[in-house]
């Protein structure tokens, strides 16, 4: 990279979210959105939405599945370069969505125009995050903040040369004010500490709110507020039933005059508790020596009529559907569900839940973080979408000679053969082992020319038999035979 290119990269990184002319961009719209340089404060309830992850079981289960799967994806770095030539920037490869980008990279790799960068500080940042968290913990926390609150603020840590070497996830409710064209700083507050941090030191990943696309993002918990509260109240109501709701189910009192007064009532109470309190004494009858009165509160079928179990199942399904998580990912297996259905739901989760989040995160890092190192780098990830195993198996079975022995062993869960003994193909012609399929192509069949029939020799003159004698000759022969007989 030339000195001019380096200067352009660092100057672009120093601009942050806004340039000096941002207040005048689009007829001064941003200046009207942020009058007086006042940024947007965190939304009311942001902290509570993040803490709900630890309080609501179904929200925890769904959000944790998504964040854990997101964090487990491997990241890669590439550069467009052929042999000893100078690397070049390919904007189409950097900006293309996942299918087109994979096609570009695959074709470039086959043509020798792509090199994978295996050792780079950017990979260390994505993989190792910071001194306090591992890369997987960092990515998991970042995705939880993004899904629950709609915002993820990543603070950069730089080395002596000014290059980012670590990222720190800052909770959204710590960010008291976002930057504006007039005041390009984040105001951060936590407990007794407050500070102003330039917007060049943050990577802001947000899910834009269509009602205010220039402000804070919108999270899943905001859309699920009523459903989450309903599920929580259903759980608390069930809990209160076991705690009697500070109200007895019925009252027992003696009819008529009570001899002994309060002491007699206390004795009856202790006797009743001793005989009926506890799990093993449920529905145990009580026999009395005198008539007593009983007053029952409420309807015994009230709890059953509320159908709390179906209600909680409905809220659970609503939560996972908003997050885009199929039931099998949560371990919910319906009766009669086949293995093919499980594979389809796993594919749906990877293709339509993980990939959009990965693309969002990749695009932000590609545009806002990669240029601080080298604008020619291409950031990508290993796709979590697994190809259809049944289709691949059917194709392999149709043409078994197209795979090496080691590839078949890998499908069976076995290790490759030693000394590259499995780097051979099993060709259908008596399964001979060859190192190159071109060697196993059968030669064209020989062309057979018809041989002319042998020349026929004239048959030798056969002795004349009875069939060849004339009529006169036969009569003469008959006369001779007759004379010989008489003689």
Helical pair 355-368 and 135-149, crossing angle rounded to 10 deg: 110
Q: Where do the domains of the chain lie? A: 3-224+351-381, 389-430
Parallel, antiparallel, or unpaired: how do β-strands 75-80 and 114-116 relate? antiparallel
Taking a C-beta distance cutoff of 8 angstroms, is the pair 216, 178 a contact? yes
Q: Identify the pLDDT of residue 21.
A: 63
What integer is the mean pLDDT of 230-257? 70
Percent of the chain with pLDDT over 90: 37
410, exposed or middle or buried, with CB in 10 Å at 0-12, 13-18, 19+? middle
Check whether 176 has a pLDDT greater than 80: yes
What integer is the mean pLDDT of 377-400? 80
- Separation in Å, CA 351 to CA 59, 70, 332, 386, 422: 21, 12, 20, 9, 34
Taking a C-beta distance cutoff of 8 angstroms, is the pair 230, 321 a contact? no
Taking a C-beta distance cutoff of 8 angstroms, is the pair 152, 169 a contact? yes
Check whether 2 has a pLDDT greater than 60: no
Of 95 and 22, which is predicted with more confidence? Answer: 95
Check whether 312 has a pLDDT greater than 90: no
Taking a C-beta distance cutoff of 8 angstroms, is the pair 262, 86 a contact? no
What integer is the mean pLDDT of 62-74? 95
Check whether 313 has a pLDDT greater than 70: yes
Q: Identify the pLDDT of residue 451.
A: 66
Give the count of alpha carbons within 13 A of 325, CB side only: 27
Farthest-apart Cα atoms in the chain, separation: 170
Check whether 396 has a pLDDT greater than 60: yes
Q: Identify the pLDDT of residue 268.
A: 75
H or E element that contains 253: strand 250-254
Least confident interval from 425-429, 437-441, 456-460: 456-460
- pTM passes above 0.75: no
> Any bridge partners for residue 414, and if so which?
none
Taking a C-beta distance cutoff of 8 angstroms, is the pair 255, 292 a contact? yes
Q: Identify the pLDDT of residue 57.
A: 92
pLDDT one-digit tens code per residue, 3-49:
555 555 555 555 666 666 665 667 677 777 776 667 788 888 889 99
- Separation in Å, CA 431 to CA 238, 273, 423, 425, 480: 68, 83, 14, 8, 81
Check whether 215 has a pLDDT greater than 70: yes
Parallel, antiparallel, or unpaired: how do β-strands 292-296 and 250-254 relate? antiparallel
Q: Where are the beta strands (DSSP E) in 97-211?
A: 114-116, 151-158, 164-170, 175-177, 185-190, 193-198, 202-206, 208-209
Q: Identify the pLDDT of residue 202.
A: 94
pLDDT one-digit tens code per residue, 401-411:
788 888 888 88
Q: Identify the pLDDT of residue 123.
A: 93
């Amino acid at each position: 990279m030339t000195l001019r290119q380096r200067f352009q990269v660092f100057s672009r990184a120093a601009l942050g979210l806004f340039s000096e002319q941002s207040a005048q961009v689009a007829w001064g719209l941003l200046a009207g959105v942020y009058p007086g340089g006042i940024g947007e404060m965190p939304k009311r309830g942001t902290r509570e939405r993040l803490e709900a992850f630890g309080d609501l079981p179904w929200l925890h289960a769904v959000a944790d599945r998504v964040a854990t799967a997101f964090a487990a994806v491997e990241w890669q770095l590439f550069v467009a370069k052929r042999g000893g030539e100078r690397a070049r920037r390919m904007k189409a490869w950097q900006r293309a969505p996942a299918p087109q980008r994979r096609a570009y990279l695959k074709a470039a790799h086959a043509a020798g125009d792509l090199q994978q960068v295996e050792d780079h500080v950017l990979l260390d940042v994505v993989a190792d995050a910071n001194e306090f968290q591992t890369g997987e913990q960092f990515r998991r926390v970042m995705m939880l903040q993004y899904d629950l609150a709609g915002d993820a603020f990543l603070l950069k840590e730089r080395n002596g040369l000014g290059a980012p070497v670590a990222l720190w996830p800052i909770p959204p409710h710590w960010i008291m004010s976002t930057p504006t064209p007039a005041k390009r700083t984040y105001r951060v507050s936590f407990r007794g500490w407050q500070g102003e941090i330039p917007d060049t030191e943050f990577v802001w990943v947000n899910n834009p709110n269509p009602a205010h696309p220039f402000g804070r993002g919108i999270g899943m918990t905001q859309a699920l507020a009523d459903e989450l509260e309903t599920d929580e109240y259903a759980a608390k109501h069930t809990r209160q039933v076991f705690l009697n709701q500070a109200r007895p189910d019925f009252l027992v009192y003696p009819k008529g005059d009570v001899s002994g007064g309060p002491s007699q009532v206390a004795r009856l109470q202790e006797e009743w508790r001793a005989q009926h309190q506890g799990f093993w004494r449920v529905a145990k009858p009580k026999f009395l020596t005198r008539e007593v009165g009983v007053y029952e509160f409420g309807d015994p079928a009230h709890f059953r009529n509320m159908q709390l179990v179906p209600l909680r199942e409905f809220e659970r399904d609503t939560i996972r559907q908003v997050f885009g998580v199929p039931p099998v990912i949560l371990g919910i297996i319906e009766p009669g569900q086949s293995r093919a259905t499980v594979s389809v739901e796993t594919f749906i989760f990877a293709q339509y839940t993980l990939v959009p989040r990965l693309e969002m995160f990749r695009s932000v890092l590609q545009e806002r973080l990669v240029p601080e190192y080298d604008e020619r780098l291409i950031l990508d990830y290993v796709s979590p979408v697994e190809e259809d195993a049944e289709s691949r198996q059917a194709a392999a079975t149709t043409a078994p000679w197209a795979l090496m022995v080691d590839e078949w062993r890998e499908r069976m869960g076995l290790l490759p053969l030693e000394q590259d003994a499995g780097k051979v193909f099993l060709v259908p012609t008596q399964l001979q082992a060859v190192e190159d399929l071109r060697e196993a192509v059968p030669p064209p069949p020989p062309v057979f020319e018809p041989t002319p029939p042998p020349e026929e020799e004239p048959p030798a003159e056969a002795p004349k038999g009875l069939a060849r004698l004339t009529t006169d000759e036969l009569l003469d022969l008959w006369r001779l035979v007759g004379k010989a007989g008489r003689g």
